[in-house]
Each structure stands twice: as C-alpha cells, then as structure tokens.
C-alpha cells in the first residue's frame, strides 16, 4: 500500500469527482451548517460544522463502490483550527452502523493548516470502497469544521457478496435502470453487478420488460397497494 499527503493552497489534481451530489451526514450539526454543505464549493467560507464534542465525525456515502484516487479536504476561510488533526478513513460499509467494517486510515490534517488550504490524501492499493469519513477527537470539545470535500476515483465492482432486506408492498419511484429478471435472485445479481446500485424492486407478476428496478439513491421507494412488488435494501451483516 502506498500512502501520501499533499498540501497546497492552489493545486487541483485532475480526475473525475465522484462526491458531487452524494449523501453526507455528521455526528451533530451546529445551526445551519449541515454535512452536505461540505460537498458544495459555494459554501467554502462556512462549510459544514458539528456541535462541540470529544469525537466528531463527517461521513460521505458514495452511493456505490469505487476505487479512490484521491481525497481533498479544503479548510474553511474561518475557524480553520476546527479541522486541524482530523483524520480521513475509507471503508466498505457505514462505520456508524456496521460491525464488520473494512476501514483503512488514509492520513491526518496537519497542525497549522491555513484558511482555504487544501490537503490531499491518496490511498493507493485499497480495495473498492463506498464510504469516506473524516473524524476529529478533541479533549477540549472543539467542533469539526470542513470547508469542502472532493473525492475522485472510478466505479468498481462490489468487493463482497451483497445482502438485502426485503420491504413488501414498496416500489421504486425513479429507478436509474428498469430491466427484466426471471427471479428476485436474478434481479439481485443485476443490482450487484452495477456498482452504483444500492436498492432494487422486484415483481414476479409485472410485465417482464420492467419487473426489476434499480436505484442508486436513498428513500426512493413508496408503499403501494400492489402486493406483488417488494423493495430490497442493502444492509449490514
């Protein structure tokens, strides 16, 4: 494994951003500074901000499995000490929910980072991951503040067998793919092969050209009266 860290006020590494429009959450939120603000460059001045705590974290769900090329954290233009010594990890599952997470430590933000400064982590050789987490421990209960987070990489196949929890009488609203499947198992295999698929809906009696619906977004299924549809959500084991 090769691990490196780059500090620069101006360098921007080329590559495809895979973090834009994805889902972010954090351990707590101070006022309006929600986790998603750290993914929007227009909020660079204020970014995301947790409440005071001894263990604060910010978590990004990439909504699929990817090989990461680099992760860039940009300090806010104010209260930059709130990002000092924070460390970055990547994982195959949600660290806050799952007990069998394969997490890899990528590096820590150095002390004395300047306003607007970028810190880029490269974690070469790491297996495909889905989650990026920034964590900060503070005995003085100083919050975690992040100006902007950018993750670059490319799609990869899921690194392990998928397991899904069924929810009867639920169907996808806006699937990114509607296809046919002979059985629910076949539909699950189709979902597994698409690195961005996290949930799917299946019906044994719907027309065979659209009885398998795949989604890469959370909370896109609704309850319906047709009990032939079931939505299957990936979960931790």
What's the pLDDT at 223?
80
Read off the pLDDT of residues 201-227 as tens digits, 9 standing for 90 and up: 999 998 778 999 998 876 677 788 778
pLDDT of residue 16: 78
Question: Which pLDDT tens digit goes with each residue over 173-187?
Answer: 889 999 999 999 899
The rounded distance, in Å, linking the Cα atoms of 136 and 8 is: 21
Flag whether pLDDT at 11 surpasses 80.
no
Tens digit of pLDDT for each residue in 92-128? 888 777 767 778 889 999 988 888 999 999 876 567 8
Length, in residues, of the chain: 237
Digit-coded pLDDT (tens) for 39-56: 999 999 889 999 998 889
Q: Which strand (E) or helix (H) includes residue 192?
A: helix 184-193
Q: Could you give all domains of the chain from N- to C-terminal order, each with its CATH number?
A: 2-155 (2.60.120.260), 164-234 (3.50.4.10)
For the entire predicted model, the pTM comes to 0.72
The whole-angstrom separation of Cα 139 and Cα 136 is 10
Contacts of 134 (CB under 8 A, 6+ apart): 57, 58, 59, 73, 86, 87, 88, 144, 146, 149
Task: Please check the confidence at residue 8 and state whether its pLDDT lies above 80.
Answer: no
In angstroms, the CA 209 to CA 140 distance is: 59
Quote the CA–CA distance of 35 and 39 in Å, as a whole number: 8
């Amino acid at each position: 494994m090769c691990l490196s860290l780059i500090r620069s006020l101006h360098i921007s590494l080329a590559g495809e951003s895979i973090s834009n429009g994805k889902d972010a959450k954090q351990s707590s939120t101070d006022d309006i500074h929600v986790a998603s603000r750290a993914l929007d460059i227009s909020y660079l001045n204020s970014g995301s901000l947790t409440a005071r705590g001894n263990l604060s974290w910010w978590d990004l769900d990439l909504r699929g499995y990817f090989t990461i090329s680099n992760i860039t954290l940009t300090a806010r233009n104010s209260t930059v000490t709130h990002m000092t010594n924070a460390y970055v990890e990547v994982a195959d599952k949600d660290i806050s929910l799952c007990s069998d997470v394969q997490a890899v430590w990528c590096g820590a933000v150095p002390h004395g980072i300047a306003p607007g400064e970028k810190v880029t982590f490269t974690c070469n050789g790491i297996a495909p991951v889905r989650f990026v987490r920034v964590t900060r421990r503070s005995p003085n209960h100083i919050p975690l503040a992040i100006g902007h987070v950018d993750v670059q990489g490319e799609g990869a196949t899921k690194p392990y067998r998928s397991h899904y929890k069924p929810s009867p009488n639920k169907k996808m609203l806006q699937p990114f793919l509607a296809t046919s499947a002979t059985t629910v198992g076949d539909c699950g295999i189709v979902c597994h092969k698409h690195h961005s698929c996290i949930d799917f809906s299946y019906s044994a009696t719907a027309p065979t050209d659209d009885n398998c619906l795949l989604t890469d977004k959370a909370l896109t299924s609704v309850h319906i009266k047709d009990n032939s549809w079931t939505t299957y959500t990936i979960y931790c084991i």
